[in-house]
Amino acid sequence: GENVEQHPSTLSVQEGDSAVIKCTYSDSASNYFPWYKQELGKRPQLIIDIRSNVGEKKDQRIAVTLNKTAKHFSLHITETQPEDSAVYFCAHRGGSYIPTFGRGTSLIVHP
Amino acid sequence: GAGVSQSPSNKVTEKGKDVELRCDPISGHTALYWYRQRLGQGLEFLIYFQGNSAPDKSGLPSDRFSAERTGESVSTLTIQRTQQEDSAVYLCASSLTGGAGTGELFFGEGSRLTVL
């Protein structure tokens, strides 16, 4: 199947702390793993993505790691800021080529 | 265009009525997707169009749901005989290519449907 499990559903941190969101998938054909951020009342927007030929990708305070053997990938946000507060969705593209999304993680960063 | 455009942004309808939602993708994007997002939930795939290929309708929840796309432009999602459980935000997204080359999805602002 192409389901993706995302945890936690809610994550509350203090400003400056790190946040980690994890996703697991089952489709061994998956080769593209994007992360989207959805602010309240706004559209989801891509923040970072990784393809299966690399294990880690970093963009300033955001990084994504991929373990293809274990079939899981994670989003890491360092030095969190209040504007990082949003819902984050992991997704993957499997054999059907249709991006499948996780249920989302609501990140709350307390000033 | 500047981005994916959806209309209406909000629609309130009575149970049993039909509704039509419209999506204008980014010009030149061959792939178009419809997703449904219930309150506090994830994105549930509905239907996928890629170029002139037959659409992938595997996510449509019932035969009350249908969608069309004219070439590589506008798409409409139609819900017949609406039910209260159809209440959700319907998100449209487009990407430059589909299939194995699928990359970033660009989402519209969504159409919020409320069925009374």
Q: CB–CB of A43 and B41 under 8 A?
A: no
Share of chain A above pLDDT 90, in %: 81
**Paired tokens of B77:** 């999602």
Residue B1: the pLDDT is 52
Residues B29 and B94: beta-carbon distance below 8 Å: yes
Average pLDDT of span B80-102: 90
Residue A1: the pLDDT is 44
Share of chain B above pLDDT 70, in %: 97
Interface of B with A in 17-46 (CB under 8 A): 33, 35, 41-43, 45
Q: What is the DSSP letter of B81?
A: S
Residues A57 and A73: beta-carbon distance below 8 Å: no
The three-state (H, E, C) secondary structure of chain A, written as one string: CCCEEEECCEEEEECCCCEEEEEEECCCCCCEEEEEEECCCCCCEEEEEEECCCCEEEECCEEEEEECCCCEEEEEECCCCHHHCEEEEEEEECCCCCEEECCCEEEEEEC
- Residue A100: list chain B partners with CB under 8 A: 45
Q: CB–CB of A99 and B41 under 8 A?
A: no
Amino acid A59 reads D
Q: CB–CB of A103 and B42 under 8 A?
A: yes
User: Which residues are within 8 A (CB) of B107 and not within 5 positions of it... i.e. 6 or more apart?
Assistant: A43, A44, A45, B4, B91, B92, B93
- Minimal CA separation from A12 to chain B, in Å: 16
Distance CA A96, CA A83 (A): 35
- Minimal CA separation from B100 to chain A, in Å: 6
Q: What is the DSSP letter of B2?
A: -
Residue A56: the pLDDT is 94
Distance CA A111, CA B15 (A): 44
Residue A71: the pLDDT is 93
Whether residue A104 lies within 8 A of chain B, CB to CB, comes out as yes
Whether the pLDDT of residue B85 is over 80: the answer is yes
Distances (CA, A) of A88 to A4, A32, B43, B55, B111: 14, 17, 11, 28, 20
- Residue B45: list chain A partners with CB under 8 A: 98-101
pLDDT digits (tens, 9 = 90+) for A60-105: 999 999 999 999 999 999 999 999 999 999 999 887 788 999 999 9
Whether residue A9 lies within 8 A of chain B, CB to CB, comes out as no
- Minimal CA separation from A79 to chain B, in Å: 26
pLDDT digits (tens, 9 = 90+) for B17-67: 999 999 999 998 999 999 999 988 889 999 999 988 899 999 999 999 999
Mean pLDDT computed over every residue of chain A: 93
Q: What is the DSSP letter of B85?
A: G
Q: CB–CB of A97 and B45 under 8 A?
A: no
Whether the pLDDT of residue B70 is over 70: the answer is yes
CB-nearest partner of A97 from B42, B43, B102: B102
